[in-house]
Amino acid sequence: MGSENVIVIDGQEFFFSAGETILQVAQRNGFDIPTLCYLKGASPTGACRICVVELEGSQNLVASCATPAAPGMVVRTETPRVINSRRTSLEVLLASGQHNCLAQDLSMDSWTDFQVKSMAAKGHDDLCPAYGECRLQDLAVQYQVKTNHFTPADVSYPIEDVNPFIVRDFSRCILCGRCVQACNEIQVNNAISFDYRGSKSKIVTEGDLPLKDSICVFCGECVQACPVGALIPKKDLLLERSSNETRKIRTTCSYCGVGCQLYLHVRNNKVVKVTGVEDVGPNFGSLCVKGRFGYDFINDPERLKIPLIKENGKFREASWDEALNLIAEKLTRIKKESGPDSIMVLSSARITNEENYLAQKFARAVIGTNNIDHCARL
Amino acid sequence: MENLVFSTWGNWKDSPGPAQTDNLPAQFGQGKPLRAFMGWDGMFVRDASVNIVDMTREYAAQAANQSCGHCSPCRECTYRMKEILERICEGQGAEDDLDMLEYMARYVMDSSYCDIGLTSPRPILDAIEHGRDDFLRAIQEKKPIPRGNYVAKVTAPCINACPSHLDIPGYVEKIHLGRWDEALEIIRQDCCLPGTIGRVCVRPCEFNCRRGLMDEPIAIKALKRFAADQELIRGVEPGFSTTETKEDKVAIIGAGPAGLACAYHLGIKGYKTTIFEALPEPGGMAKSGIPDYRLPPDILNYEVSLVEKAGAEIRYGVNVGKDITIEDLTEKGYKAVFVGVGAPEASSMRCEGEDAGYERFMTGIDFLREIAFGRRPIEGKKIAVIGGGNVAMDCVRCALRIGFDDVNLIYRRTEAEMPADPVEIEEAKEEGIKFNFLVQPIKILAENGKVSGLECLKMELGEPDDSGRRRPVPIEGSNFIIECDAMVPAIGQVVVVDRVVPEGTELTRRKTLVVDKITFQSSQPNVFGGGDCITGPATLIGALAAGKNAARFIARYLETGECRPEDTDWMEKTISDLGVYDKEETMPFVGQTRRPRQAALDPSVRIKSFKEVESGFSRADAFKEASRCLRCYRIGLAAV
Ligand SMILES: Cc1cc2nc3c(=O)[nH]c(=O)nc-3n(C[C@H](O)[C@H](O)[C@H](O)COP(=O)(O)OP(=O)(O)OC[C@H]3O[C@@H](n4cnc5c(N)ncnc54)[C@H](O)[C@@H]3O)c2cc1C
Ligand code: SF4
Ligand code: SF4
Ligand code: SF4
Ligand code: FES
């Protein structure tokens, strides 16, 4: 073997290419190493320690996500020592704040005490809103974690919800740092970072101001990255809990020409949430504030669905045929009376390339003017 | 072995391994015994009356305090361990507390990210193992335990190796987080010339960096430069936190690194200083020795301007000893004086003809100073530079840049023994310098009073000498002549502090000023000294450290009339005695990431001018490099 790029994982040999981490080699070969803080596309931070593995020659366990594979490494991914460490990590994380969900395996009395205490805190009148979509909860179930070793910690920082989009619930933050990676390395907004130290650690903006007073642009990349219920879309909290199923419908964002891929979360024929589609271009999960949070117009009662014609200062409903005929007639008249250059066509970034092409074709070939422009240039 | 109750020191190295019982420090400062010590490699107790439970409480509190909070085990458990120990010491311990402590200690030690988490539980486990009865008694008796007297210190192999003990992992981490200004703030606490040191430091830290045992040491110097450069590039105003202005004024002699550092740190403490400098420009050897292509003058000048902003006034062209004396300064109301006059004179070569006053013969430091002030020191085409250190490297590379066609280095040993920085040697070779090894000059030849050549002997390497390098021995009858029309010996400098200090001040035989190793106070209570003038030619960072520490003790002297080391100073010594970097340590795996290189001008371009050769890291490179740091923080706690 020698200097060849081969490592041994649980007794089997695998090739790796330079720069690959133990985790990448393992996952590529079908090993199930759990991760929590590791964010695809960003550099590993080794913060959560869930992905630890045993490495021959090392006194301590190593984080597989942050350790580059080296020739001759002998790695074990599922030993009792490894399982024990992962379990303890999950336990301490669950006990680190107000994770009031069913993963909290406390005895009956203290469970009730804990819930009552949790729900007394501002914005906590229900179970954690991430319930069922929480990576910590999933892993706690998978690793059959008992949480009664550690008394749950008190709330260290109050909830921050003074903006229309994002609720930051520090009592549920496990300080995995995914939001920081998402903000700094994926979006490159550099709006948030770790601060304070030890058990007082907190994810902060510069000067520890609320998000709205920082350079945050509310793209929500951090919300999408947060594995628990610490960063949640504000609108999620307004949703009544419902047994009706939420369907995810994949579509292309209609706001601009980038063509971001997103999921509309639809319940009772209403869009209740938008998330980015991970792993596909052009956006690989990222969205902007409009794409992620600006979906209310879809269900807005003010939204125009039928053409309107203004007569005597008042709008009346009309059929498409009637409306289009009226427009064609008026354009023809203007062109005849004042010449084609008295007309200008303004198209939009929110329509497709093909539609924009047709718009200029219409301006040049049908109307006969070069007066064609586009809102994205304004 | 004397007075050792027990020791586990070192047993964690290849755990379980043998503990060290010999050569452990026994003294903590003058006349004070070291009663017990807990730290990264275990613990030892010399005085059986030390309450091990209380000491463990204190140690755990330090660990919790040092936990940065980035990884779960250490963040979530060090404070819980501290709380349990506090409970036990308050007489409220519970039966299962010890189990819980051990459980958490093992988990933190097994699973954490950096050495705070990986090493701080070790002595806690040792204490429980060796003092289990004490712990059980404390839990059962339910009586509060009084607090003992302890001194704590955080270090790391790199920090310990740096003469000024910069918090290296601290600023590297800030660079990793993209908080460059905060990184620079950390650097400035111990080094007031970050852009300078970030370019020309001899970087003892990098030779003591644990990452080097895995692949390559962290590029600590280049990262420091990066942080300093970012401030200039982005036009950030550096923030000062000077305290209120104090009455007493301090005189500083020499605007070299030592003097500047002393002025800066006194300034931060609120003291106004006047620096008396013989030359027309500040910087000492950083200005008049180190050439511009290694350290551009605008960088140095900017950093000096910050020292002035911190409260220093520099008076140029004043030669203390000649134009004014220290006694005069005292009379003028300067309550304390700091001597930082460096090692300004060239050592003699002991070679026939060096005192003959030949034209085109000039000592290395004179040669470099002339160039630094923009003059061409000597004419000629073929030059011989004698010496193997960094000054010689600077001379040959400067000679090339001022127009010598044929530049020869003459050194009496081989390349392996050269004290010069390998990077310098490499760059000099790239630039086309000719190296002549195993050659000893014996006579300078001249025609019409002008240098015409050098008579030399060939040498061979013999037995190792005191410095551990093999001694060069002349080969009988091997005389030969190197022709040249200019010559620069660069074989060292000497100190002439006797010209500056009042008569009767204690000096060494080498005319260096004698000062207390910790307080930098000389035999005259109001005179302090630091830098090359107390050590002989040394390093910039050594001079900065001396200036910084002297500032602290000058302030104490002014405020209390006394000047004694503090416990933290003795702790520093204790830790250095124990040793922090273990070059025999086996690392868990072979690292796979190399440090990025700073871009350098092509040799053919750079020899044409004094333009800076290296440019700093890009942001991406700095980020990547910073992420390689292993954060080898270690906590030590002494019971005194
Ligand atoms: C050519 C050369 C290259 C070097 N390169 C490096 C390097 O790359 N890295 C490194 O770490 N170190 C290097 N050094 C060493 C380093 O420069 C010195 O160790 C450091 O400058 C010492 O600082 P200092 O303040 O003690 O003395 P100096 O830097 O010598 O400063 C003393 C100052 O006092 C002034 N002075 C002297 N006498 C009087 C007087 N009587 N009255 C008033 N003022 C006076 C001098 O003019 C000078 O400005 C180099 C040295 C030389 C000579
Ligand atoms: S807010 Fe969420 S993503 Fe950010 S550190 Fe906390 S748990 Fe992790
Ligand atoms: S100090 Fe080290 S071990 Fe402790 S939380 Fe920070 S990274 Fe983890
Ligand atoms: S890896 Fe980092 S903390 Fe460790 S010795 Fe090197 S620079 Fe210092
Ligand atoms: S996933 Fe590797 S440390 Fe968090």
More confident residue, B215 or A98: B215
Minimal Cβ distance to B70: which of A47, A68, A70: A47
Per-residue pLDDT reduced to its tens digit, B146-162: 999 999 999 999 999 99
> Which of A108-117, A232-241, B77-86 bottoms out in mean pLDDT, i.e. has the lowest?
A108-117
Measured between CA atoms, how close is A250 to chain B, in angstroms? Answer: 35
Ligand with smallest separation from the Cα of B633? 4
> Rounded to 5 degrees, what angle do the CA atoms B539, B540, B541 make?
95
**Gap from CA of B115 to ligand 3 centroid (Å):** 7
Atom of ligand 5 nearest to the CA of A23: 2
What tokens does B130 get? 């060796």
Region B545-559 average pLDDT: 97
Question: Are residues A311 and A330 located together in one domain of the fold?
Answer: yes
Q: Does ligand 3 come within 6 angstroms of the Cβ of B112?
A: yes
| Cβ contact, residue pair A68, B592, below 8 Å | yes
CATH of B6-154, one of 1.20.1440.230, 3.90.470.20, 3.40.630.30, 3.30.590.10: 1.20.1440.230
Closest ligand 5 atom to A35 CA? 1
Please give the residue of chain B at the shortest CA–CA distance from A97: B76
pLDDT band at A243 (very low <50, low <70, confident <90, very high): low
| Residue closest by Cα to atom 4 of ligand 2 | A179
**What CATH number has the domain spanning B346-492?**
3.50.50.60
Residue pLDDT, tens place only, B287-314: 999 999 999 999 999 999 999 999 999 9
* Composition of chain B by helix, strand, coil, percent to 5: 40, 20, 45
pLDDT, tens digit (0-9, with 9 covering 90-100), for A51-104: 999 999 999 999 999 999 999 999 999 999 999 999 999 999 999 988 877 666
Q: In the predicted model, what is the mean pLDDT of residues B451-457?
A: 95
Average confidence (pLDDT) over A41-50: 94
pLDDT for the residue A1: 45
CATH number of B159-239+581-626: 1.10.1060
Instruction: Tell how far the Cα of A167 is from the centroid of ligand 2, in angstroms.
Output: 12
- How far is CA A142 from each of CA A135, A289, B481, rounded to the nearest angstrom? 10, 34, 82
Of A60, A61, A198, the CB nearest to B75: A198
Q: Where are the alpha helices (DSSP H) in chain A?
A: 22-28, 80-94, 108-120, 135-142, 178-181, 221-225, 234-238, 289-293, 320-338, 353-361
CATH number at residue A292: 2.20.25.90
pLDDT in tens, B32-55: 999 999 999 999 999 999 999 999
ω into residue A129 within 30 of 0, thus cis? no
Q: Residue A101: inside a domain, yes or no? A: no
| Three-state DSSP state, A361 | helix
- Residue A236's pLDDT is what? 82
User: Which ligand ends up closest to the CA of B67?
Assistant: 3
* Cβ contact, residue pair A200, B65, below 8 Å: no
Q: How far is A310 from chain B (nearest CA, A)?
A: 57
CB of A36 within 6 A of ligand 5: the answer is yes
Q: For B184-207, how does the pLDDT look when each residue is reduced to its tens digit (9 = 90+)? A: 999 999 999 999 999 999 999 999
Grade residue B409 by pLDDT with cuts at 50, 70 and 90.
very high
Task: Give Cβ neighbours of residue B577 (< 8 Å, ≥ 6 apart).
Answer: B25
Q: What is the pLDDT of residue B171?
A: 98
Q: Tell me if B71 CB under 6 Å of ligand 3.
A: yes
Facing residue for A61 by CB, picked from B111, B178, B592: B111
In a domain, A94, yes or no: no
Radius of gyration of chain A from Cα atoms?
27
Which has the minimum average pLDDT: A268-282, A326-340, B511-525? A268-282
Q: Contact A201/B70, CB-based, under 8 Å?
A: yes
- Give the one of B100, B179, B627 whose C-beta lies nearest to A193's C-beta: B179
Residues in chain A with CB shorter than 8 Å from the CB of B178 are 184, 190, 193
Residues A308 and A294 in one domain: no
Total domains, chain A? 5
Same-domain check for residues A308 and A292: no
B122 contacts B59 by C-beta, under 8 angstroms? no
Q: What's the gap in Å between B201 CA and the centre of ligand 4?
A: 17
Contact (CB<8Å) B73/A89: yes
Closest CB from B78, B112, B177 relative to A198? B78
CATH number for the segment(s) B249-343+495-564: 3.50.50.60
Residue at a domain's end among A39, A59, A78: A78
Kindly report the nearest CA distance between residue A230 and chain B, in angstroms. 16
Q: Which atom of ligand 4 is nearest to the CA of B630?
A: 1
Q: Is A99 among the domain residues?
A: no
Beta bridge pairs of residue A205: A192
Residue A111: what pLDDT? 67
Nearest ligand to the C-alpha of residue B171? 4
Do A50 and A15 reside in the same domain of the chain?
yes
User: Could you read off the pLDDT of A273-322 as tens digits, one per residue?
Assistant: 999 999 898 999 999 999 999 998 888 888 888 999 999 999 999 999 99
Q: How far is the centre of ligand 3, averaged over its atoms, from the C-alpha of B75 (Å)?
A: 7
Q: What is the CATH number of the domain that holds A170?
A: 3.30.70.20
Q: How many CB pairs under 8 A join A and B?
A: 114
Contact criterion met (CB < 8 Å) for B69 and A197: yes
- Ligand 4, residue B208: give the atom nearest the CA: 5
In this complex, do A198 and B107 lie within 8 Å of one another by their Cβ atoms?
Answer: no
Q: What confidence tier does B245 reach under pLDDT thresholds 50, 70, 90?
A: confident
Please indicate, yes or no, if residue A134 is contained in any of the structural domains: no
Q: How far apart are CA A152 and CA A150, in angstroms?
A: 6
Record: contact B592-A70, CB cut-off 8 A: yes
The residue that leads in pLDDT, A238 or A134, is: A134
- Flag whether A52 is in a domain: yes
* HSE toward the beta carbon, residue B417, CA cutoff 13 A: 18
Structure-token pair, residue B167: 């918090």
Q: Which contiguous run of DSSP H or E holds residue A372?
A: strand A372-374
Indicate the pTM of the whole model: 0.90
Residue with tokens 């999960």: A285
**A162 and A231 assigned to the same domain:** yes
Over 70: is that where the pLDDT of B536 sits?
yes
Give the largest Cα separation in chain A, rounded.
Answer: 89
Pocket (CB within 6 angstroms of ligand 1): B 200-202, 253-259, 276-279, 284-286, 289-290, 319-321, 340-342, 344, 365, 368, 390-391, 394, 500, 531-533, 537-541, 543
Q: Is residue A88 part of a domain?
A: no
Candidate of A38, A61, A77, A139 to mutate for ligand 5, largest count of ligand atoms within 8 Å of Cβ: A38
Question: Residue A44 sits in which domain range?
Answer: 6-78
Same domain, A264 and A230: no
| Mutation site for B-interface testing, chosen from A54, A82, A92 by largest number of B Cβ within 10 Å | A92
* B90/chain A closest Cα distance in angstroms: 20
Alpha carbon of B144: minimum distance to chain A alpha carbons (Å): 24
Q: Is the pLDDT of residue B589 over 90?
A: no
Asked if the structure places residue A145 within a domain, the reply is no
Report the distance separating Cα A206 and Cα A215, nearest Å.
8
Angle ∠(A283,A289,A291) on CA atoms, nearest 5: 55
Most ligand 4 atoms within 8 A of CB, residue of B174, B210, B580, B635 to mutate: B210
Residue B531: its pLDDT value, please? Answer: 97
Nearest ligand to residue A86 Cα: 5
Would you list the DSSP string of B395-441?
A: HHHHHHHTT-SEEEEE-SS-GGG--S-HHHHHHHHHTTPEEE-SEEE
Residue A120 belongs to some domain of the structure: no
Listed residue (B72, B158, B634) closest to A45, CA to CA: B72
List chain A residues with CB under 8 Å of B590. 70-71
CB B184 within 8 A of CB B168: no
CATH topology of B6-154 equal to that of B346-492? no
Indicate yes or no: CB of B15 within 8 angstroms of CB of A19.
no
Pocket of ligand 4 (CB under 6 A): B 156-158, 168-169, 209-211, 218, 220, 629-632
Place of tokens 């280049």: B222
pLDDT-wise least confident of B32-46, B77-91, B116-130, B342-356: B342-356
Q: Give the domain ranges of chain B.
A: 6-154, 159-239+581-626, 249-343+495-564, 346-492
